[in-house]
Each structure stands twice: as C-alpha cells, then as structure tokens.
Amino acid sequence: MSFKQFIIRKLTLFFMLTTLITVAVCAIGSVFDPGARFGYDAMLTPVRYAAYCVIPTFVTFSRHELKTKEMMLRMALELLLIEAVILGIAFSSPAIDTGRLSVVFTIAGSVLGVYLLSRFLSWLRDSSEARKLNDDLVRFQQLHEQQ
C-alpha cells in the first residue's frame, strides 16, 4: 500500500472514530454524569480524541505485505497505544472522575469497543472492495476468453 492510500484510510478512520467516540462519550456521560452541561468547545472533544487515536495507528504502516503474525502484533501494539493515550487524557483531565475504578474500566472498555467496531467496519469496507475487484476480474477474464 502506498503512503497516500494509507493516509486516505487514516482520514476515513478519523471520521469514523469521531462518530463512534461521540456516541461512546454520550453513553458514558449519560451513565456517570447525566446532569452535566457543556459549552460549544466540548463538541470538539471527540474530534481531538479521534485525532489522538489515529496517531498510534501509524504503527501498522508498511510498504510491503505484512505476515499475519506481524500484523496481529502491530494491531495489539496499536490497541495498547490507543488505550494509553485515552487513559492518559482521562487521568490528566480534572473533569473525568478517574478516582472511581468503574469510570476507568468503562473508559478502557469503551476504547476496546470502539476499536473493535472500527476494525469491523473497516473490514466490511475492505471486503466489499475486494468483492468488487474480484467481480471485475471475473468479468475481464470472461471478456478476454470470448475474444
């Protein structure tokens, strides 16, 4: 994969994460602090979180095809880095009650959930693209055989 294709995928991931993080923040906030009200600047929080989460995903970049074991290792490292980034933000924020273990576990679990969901949605997109390419290849081969 070229670096340009990689960056385009990361931009797609950024927008996907922004949406998923917005939903997760809303769900967690509704449980742990349902009476909280925020200003307009709080609307950018999911955007910042998504940007911070995309940065660790650069560990999966490779100009050559990775072996399955290598990719799984990089994905595990990616998840650990994302967890560290988000928990680091949570522990440094005075607005998040990290003194409560349930809050910390909920944040860590939501990071895992968002990660898995984004991986699943990316897989769906990739498998759809692969299916289309395979169909195009079959049509091309049939056309070539007819000539």
* Chunked mean pLDDT (size 10), the chain, 147 residues: 88 95 92 86 90 93 90 96 96 92 96 96 93 93 85
Q: Which long-range contacts (CB under 8 A, 24 or more apart) does 125-129 make?
A: 125/12
pLDDT score, position 16: 95
Both tokens of 19, joined, read 């949406």
Range of the domain at 29: 3-146
Instruction: Give the Cα separation of 133 and 147 in Å (integer).
Output: 21
CA-based R_g, the chain, Å? 19
pLDDT score, position 3: 87
Name the domain count of the chain.
1
- Cβ atoms of residues 76 and 84 within 8 Å: no
pLDDT score, position 33: 86
The number of angstroms, rounded, from the C-alpha of 5 to the middle of its chain's C-alpha atoms is 17
What is this structure's pTM? 0.82
Around 37, how many Cα atoms within 13 Å sit in the side-chain half-sphere?
Answer: 0
pLDDT score, position 36: 83
